[in-house]
Amino acid sequence: MTSAFKIYNDDCFDVLQNFPDESFDMIFADPPYLLSQSGTSCQNGRLVTIDKGRWDISRSIAEDYEFHKRWLEACRRLLKPDGTIWVSGTYHSIHSCGLAMMLLNYHILNEIAWFKPNASPNLSCKYFTASHETLIWARKSKKGKHYFNYDAMKNGDFPKDTIKKPHTQMRTVWSIPTTPFEEKTLGRHPTQKPLALLERIIIAATRPGDNILDPFMGSGTTGVAAVKLGRRFSGIDTDPAYCRLAEKRIKTVLL
């Protein structure tokens, strides 16, 4: 283990309560969507039952909301006065998170639509094809002064994003393909985010040396992006296999 990152294989609530107040410049959270007890999805062109594990099982609408409110409240304590949080999700979770954030006095800055140009088809042919996820970007409070790397977002190079035009303000719809195979060679997670997405977020909202937290780390994409870009990283996950995978992936950046 290195001082550049720290991984905690434990329940996020147990770990979060042990961090000092105002420890982090930015938090990225991709909380459980809580939908594994029902439904289907497309995987490798086949219709499969959704079952990501016990961590993704819904208790009830009310209990799911209280779960989201609880971890968001714990995270707010840990943000520095000017710190920001990014929350990723689909319609299964993002509305509960957004309501909880408003009630906890987060100040919402933007809602980003992450468009997936290569999204899996809808094999039931009963619905529109799900081809985006939502990201909420918020700062700790309305009084804060968040950091935004405007120049990098306006003038940076985003060759795979067909929506972003060169040297124009970045809009709130981002076209980023789903996680490529080469990012899964060491192992995979069912909701693994592409490195390009996390790199864009971290460049936009943090400075080199900043401290970043991911309370639902999964395969460690946030940590890979953070360490690659010269930030410090703390990640939490209950699954020891994913913690080992995240550590392997992050260490490849340090070699």
> What is the reported pLDDT for 24?
98
Distances in Å between the Cα of 214 and the Cα atoms of 48, 198, 233 are 29, 11, 8
Local confidence band at 1 (pLDDT 50, 70, 90 cut-offs):
very low
- The residue range of the domain holding 55 is 5-254
The angle subtended at Cα 138 by Cα 135 and Cα 140, nearest 5°, is: 150
Local confidence band at 167 (pLDDT 50, 70, 90 cut-offs):
very high
Could you tell me the CATH number of the domain that includes residue 244? 3.40.50.150
Q: Which amino acid is at 12?
A: C
pLDDT tens sequence across 40-69: 555 555 555 555 556 456 678 999 999 999
Distances in Å between the Cα of 76 and the Cα atoms of 24, 33, 103, 105, 143 are 10, 20, 12, 9, 14
Local confidence band at 138 (pLDDT 50, 70, 90 cut-offs):
very high
* Residues of the chain above pLDDT 90, percent: 80
Determine the Cα–Cα distance for residues 50 and 217; give it in Å rounded to an integer.
20
The two beta strands, 232-237 and 211-214, are parallel
Supply the pTM of this predicted model: 0.89
| End-to-end CA separation in angstroms for the chain | 13
Number of domains in the chain: 1
């970043």: which residue's tokens? 212
b/e for 156-186, b at 16 or more Cβ within 10 A? bebeebeebeeeeebeeebbbebbeeebeee
The listed range with the strongest mean pLDDT (90-94, 181-185, 243-247) is 243-247
> What is the reported pLDDT for 49?
58
CA 119 from centroid of its chain's CA atoms: 18
Name which residue leads in pLDDT, 104 or 45.
104
